[in-house]
Chain A
Amino acid sequence: MNYSVRKFDAVIVGAGGAGLRAAIQLSEAGMKTAVLTKVFPTRSHTVAAQGGVAASLGNSEEDHWHWHMYDTVKGSDWLGDQDAIEFMCRKANEVVVELEHYGMPFDRTDSGKIYQRPFGGHMSNFGEKPVRRSCAAADRTGHAMLHAMYQRNVKANTQFFVEWQALDLVRDADGEVLGVTAMDMETGEIVVFHAKATIFATGGAGRIYYSSTNAFINTGDGVGMAARAGIPLEDMEFWQFHPTGVAGAGVLITEGVRGEGGILRNAQGERFMERYAPNAKDLASRDVVSRAMVTEINEGRGCGPNKDFVLLDITHLPPETIMKRLPGIHEIAVQFAGVDALKEPIPVVPTCHYQMGGIPTNYNGQVVVPGKRTQSEIVPGFYAAGECACASVHGANRLGTNSLLDLLVFGKSAGESAVAELRAGNRTHKPLPQECIDQTLARVNRLNTQKGGANVHETRLDMQRAMQKHAGVFRFKDMLAEGVEKILGIAEQVGQTEIADKSMVFNTARIEALELDNLIEVAKATIVSANARTESRGAHVRDDAPDTPANPNGRDDANWLKHSLWYREGNRLDYKSVKLTPLSVDSIELKTRAY
């Protein structure tokens, strides 16, 4: 199989928020920068983000980055690194104002400032009361953000390779990263992008679960590529579930529906949240509502022939309210649940929404791995930002609107770090290691010649079902252990997938098979890390780690206040400590997370 080589100063994989932000930094510094993306940049998943981006601008009321930092540490259930969290919260205003200068059409106050609205978990004065911190552009925040940054990149001469699929990281025997191998979807041609700096911004891998709010494109490619190149994956057991995804489809029904008076009911029609959260009821926090729903289902009070969902009821609300205050919900219910939400309740289940873990980085966006001297040694030439990376600012649980902030801040700092390295002359186009390139060629070749192998669609479905059942919202000791075996079995099948279509032009079957190679690495990392972590923390909740006076909410700081690191080779785990020391302020001390 033939391939060619192209040289750049920097190659960025991903043109969502994180990739575009990093690219601006590099191109504007005059670096020859390539951005590879599977889909047109403004069709990246960042488009789906509506809620907004957090920044303590204080435009609507008093606010401070230190309060934001406190909320983020608490939200993370103390697993977030406090140096990175301080860095992010302090940088928030700068990156949001920059975005405004790039032309982002933020909603405005009467006096022309960026309008801010409240969002779950964001409080003033160290957890006292809700604060208006989220900046949005109507219900198209993510989309507007991508547009503004894409235009900026076009001006700065960033070279886009649209509809290219990166396949493997090129990492030599010294551990240095020298670029990626990639396939042009249009022709099937394979090219090595030889670069002095490589930045991964490939987004999340929400499609490892059967029920997911993520678009099909979110297959964790960067995370899978990193794992195959020997980079450990950090905190992969932590996935945020949104309580109300449409059963069977995953499409997100916003929290606003419960805000307007929507009620969750079980098969008996009971408003079960009254038992779990007598005060907040249906408006309790995401993880509390999700767990209550799963408990109802597990105890046999689920609805439908398989008793596997609960109902979100808005039939008691006036139709005008629904149509006016909750636009889009009626259409989603008709399309994906086949119900008229004005007359019948909507079947919903807790649905995978966000990947907290990922490729380990420091707050400069540099990828770090345990080495001979320290727990966090820089991998030369390699950077990551956005949902594929773990800085770690979200720890065990992300606050809404903090991920758009994450991708702006760390996209920028990854770009800045790369520019600094390039300017210092520290990076050259080192010779490419042939073994790495051969690995990609062998992978593609195997797919093209495999006979009697596994069906891609069915294998992916097996993986998704197994993940949903064994490593969902609520986790059980025996189920996790069983799940590890199941996923390892499915991984064998993934190594033998077969595609019927062997054509070259936009061969979607091949693209999906190559994506599955990445998804399965994420699934393995998730279930193995979850099985090992015998406490409950943030989004990782185990039945055998219950709430006790010694371990409130099941959190076991004595043994588990540490980051998991999963290595593909040997399917083994290692751990590193959480950075509890911020950059300039006092550490936010451990407390029970209660709202």
Chain B
Amino acid sequence: MEEERRARINRLKWHCRRALLELDLVFQRFWAREEDGLDVQAEATLARLLELEDHDLWALVSGREDTDDPQLKGMIERLRAV
């Protein structure tokens, strides 16, 4: 179990390596703060968010754009808060 979670988290962490420094910095803080509290549901939402193109993702995280998807909204709020 523990090992499986480690693998999943590590994969997510690598997918947080982005082309824009802005996003790298946000994710760095995010992991420092939220790693322990991330449940399976949140992991899945984050994975979905990480599929976005960098400029689109940054537009959401920086608050320049919004999404109607309630799950993504919640995760974006957590990212903004860091």
Contact = CB atoms under 8 A, between A and B. Distances in A.
27 contacts: A38-B17, A43-B17, A46-B19, A47-B19, A47-B55, A140-B55, A143-B19, A143-B54, A186-B11, A215-B24, A216-B17, A249-B25, A250-B21, A331-B62, A332-B22, A332-B62, A335-B62, A336-B25, A501-B6, A501-B10, A505-B6, A505-B7, A505-B11, A506-B7, A508-B10, A508-B13, A511-B14
A331 B11 contact: no
Nearest to A252: B21
Given A47-B55, A506-B7, A251 B14 contact: no
Contacts of A250: 21
A327 B64 contact: yes
A508 B16 CA distance: 11
Q: Which of under 10, 10 to 19, 20 to 34, or 35 or more describes the interface residues of B?
A: 20 to 34
Chain B interface mostly: helix
Contacts of A38: 17
A217 interface: yes
A185 interface: yes
A224 B64 CA distance: 38
Contacts of A217: 17-19
Contacts of B36: none
A251 B55 CA distance: 14
Interface of A: 38-39, 42-48, 140, 143, 163, 185-186, 212-217, 249-252, 327-328, 331-332, 335-336, 501, 503, 505-508, 511
Contact of A216 (B7, B11, B24, B54): B24
A218 to B, nearest CB: 9
Contact of B25 (A44, A48, A251): A251
A39 B62 contact: no
B74 interface: no
Given A140-B55, A143-B53, A327-B64, A45 B19 contact: yes
Nearest to A49: B19
A43 B6 contact: no
The 5 A-B pairs with the shortest beta carbon distances in the complex, nearest first, are A47-B19, A331-B62, A505-B7, A506-B10, A506-B11
B68 interface: no
Interface of B: 3, 6-7, 10-11, 13-14, 17-26, 28, 53-55, 62-64
Contact of A506 (B14, B23, B53): B14
Given A249-B21, A327-B64, 5 more contacts: A43-B18, A47-B54, A47-B55, A48-B21, A215-B24
B28 to A, nearest CB: 8
B10 A42 contact: no
Contact of A215 (B7, B19, B55, B64): B19
Contact of A505 (B10, B22, B53, B63): B10
A426 to B, nearest CB: 36
Chain A interface mostly: loop
Contacts of B23: 215
Given A143-B54, A215-B21, A506 B13 contact: yes
Contact of A508 (B14, B18, B22, B53): B14
A163 B14 CA distance: 9
Contact of A328 (B28, B54, B62): B62
Nearest to A146: B19
Nearest to B28: A216
B21 A251 contact: yes
Given A506-B10, A506-B13, A511-B14, A42 B53 contact: yes
A214 B18 CA distance: 11
A217 B24 CA distance: 9
B21 A143 contact: no
Contacts of B54: 43, 47, 143
Given A47-B55, A506-B10, A508-B10, A213 B62 contact: no
Contacts of B22: 251, 332, 335-336
A45 B25 CA distance: 15
Contacts of B6: 501, 503, 505
A39 B54 CA distance: 12
A44 B20 CA distance: 9
Contacts of A43: 17-19, 54
A291 B67 CA distance: 43
> Quick one: which of B17, B28, B54, B55 has the most chain A CB within 10 A?
B17
Nearest to B80: A335
> Quick one: which of B6, B7, B10 has the most chain A CB within 10 A?
B10
B57 to A, nearest CB: 10
Nearest to A214: B21
Given A215-B24, A331-B64, A336-B25, A44 B11 contact: no
B11 to A, nearest CB: 4
B21 A185 contact: no
Contacts of A331: 62-64
A328 B23 CA distance: 13
